[in-house]
Amino acid sequence: MAIEKSVFNQGKMQMFLLQEYGLHLTESQHLSMGTANCYKVSCKEGNYFFKEYQKEYTLQTVERETELVDYLYSKGFPVARFIKTISGNSCTLFKGHVISLQEYLEGKSYLNDLPHNLLKDSAKYLGILHSILKDYPMESSLDEKWAASISVEAVNKKYDRLLEVLERENKDPNYSRIKEDFLFKKELFSHIEDMKGYFKGITYTPSHGDYTSCQLICDGDHVKAVIDFTSAAKLPAIWEIMRSYIQAGACRNGEAFDTTDFALYVKEYMKYAQLTKRDLEAMPYVYLFQLSRSAYGYEEYLISKTENREALLDFAFWRTDICREVYRKADAISEALLHLI
């Protein structure tokens, strides 16, 4: 779900690829994945993955990603390598957007609908990734200091502002559902001071930063490669674990959160990377802390009114329903996970 209009048309892309990479474009296909504009480009020289990053991304940010991918490749981790420009750069600029080109890996990716038989491989490669990156230098994010800085008052003000905007849109067919979600998130966040303590003593590790099913290239019943390390940072390992399981499709179509199945996912991860008792205890609360403060999807629907606002609102509804489910079962989830050690 790209959130910005592409700066390319067929002619501009053809000229760009020839000038920057010496490649002769024959066909381009826009891919519905992620929030950037991504393409499969077919050239006389072969097929490639073309990515037009959002304006917020800098050359330095993407260069860090290319260095990380090179490191993972050197360690035998399955990734899509970056293609150098004619001048030897790993990425370049076009009309204010960073552009990169990578190997195109044949396979299938999923958007919140990863088949259940691929969950085991998803957990496996996340565990291997954390093991490989254990000592890799990265900036910290979502750490104890960050959690302590989050103000309940500031988050409530954000939701109050959104409620004001919503009241001006009270004829919107989604009005009642959105209002109900905002009031729930405000209520949930009122308990957040108790959850801040769960960020203390947990495992922080260099990680993908957005390890979800749409970042996995799959071939049949196994994961072939992991892609898109743009958001890589040092994070709570348990945040990435729980988020990856849920984003794979948990609780779609109103199903209950399967605590037993989730415990099996975590168990598979722990074959490749260690977790402590504190990690297992804190996992649902760390997840809730971050998700409860996020208004992603609602803001795009009500304020920026992006082109794909309906799809983003559906995603927001689903994530809030996940919040409700995890909140109800948080203690039971912790207890199930603690039985793994």
Mean pLDDT score of the chain, rounded to an integer?
94
One domain, residues 67 and 133 = no
- pLDDT 10s digits, 14-29: 999 999 999 999 999 9
120-124, 294-298, 314-318: range with highest mean pLDDT: 120-124
State the total domains in the chain.
Answer: 2
Q: What is the CATH number of the domain that holds 45?
A: 3.30.200.20
State the average pLDDT over residues 77-82.
98
70 and 18, same domain (yes or no): yes
Q: Same domain, yes or no, for 186 and 305?
A: yes
- 185-229 pLDDT, tens digit per residue, is 999 888 888 899 999 999 999 999 999 998 999 998 899 999 999
pLDDT-above-70 percentage for the chain: 99
Is 126:267 a contact under the CB 8 Å cutoff? no
pLDDT at 2 exceeding the cut of 70: no
In this predicted model, what pLDDT tens digit does every residue of 268-283 receive, in sequence order?
A: 999 999 999 999 999 9
pLDDT at 235 over 90: yes
- 48-52, 232-236, 307-311: lowest mean pLDDT where? 307-311
Rounded to the nearest angstrom, the gap between the alpha carbon of residue 48 and the centroid of all alpha carbons in its chain is 22
Residues 88 and 121 occupy one common structural domain: no
Domain check: are 36 and 179 in the same one? no
> How many CB atoms are located within 10 Å of the residue 282 CB?
25
User: Does residue 230 share a domain with residue 253?
Assistant: yes
Are residue 276 and residue 137 in the same domain, yes or no? yes
Distance CA 70, CA 179 (A): 46
**Which domain range does residue 214 map to?**
116-338
pLDDT digits (tens, 9 = 90+) for 43-64: 999 999 999 999 999 999 999 9
- Boundary of a domain, candidates 52, 81, 103: 103
Query: Which pLDDT belongs to residue 1?
Result: 59
175 and 291 fall within a common domain: yes
pLDDT (mean) for 227-242? 96
- The per-residue pLDDT for 253 is 73
Residue 22 has a CB neighbour count (10 Å cut-off) of 11
Alpha helices per DSSP H over the chain:
10-21, 59-74, 119-132, 144-149, 152-168, 175-189, 192-196, 237-247, 259-269, 277-292, 298-299, 309-338
Percentage of the chain with pLDDT > 90? 83
Residues 154 and 88 in one domain: no
Residue 285 pLDDT grade (very low, low, confident, very high; cuts 50, 70, 90): very high
Which of helix, strand or coil describes residue 161?
helix
Q: Is 236 helix (H, G, I), strand (E, B) or coil?
A: strand
Express each pLDDT in 100-125 by its tens digit.
Answer: 999 999 999 898 889 999 999 999 99
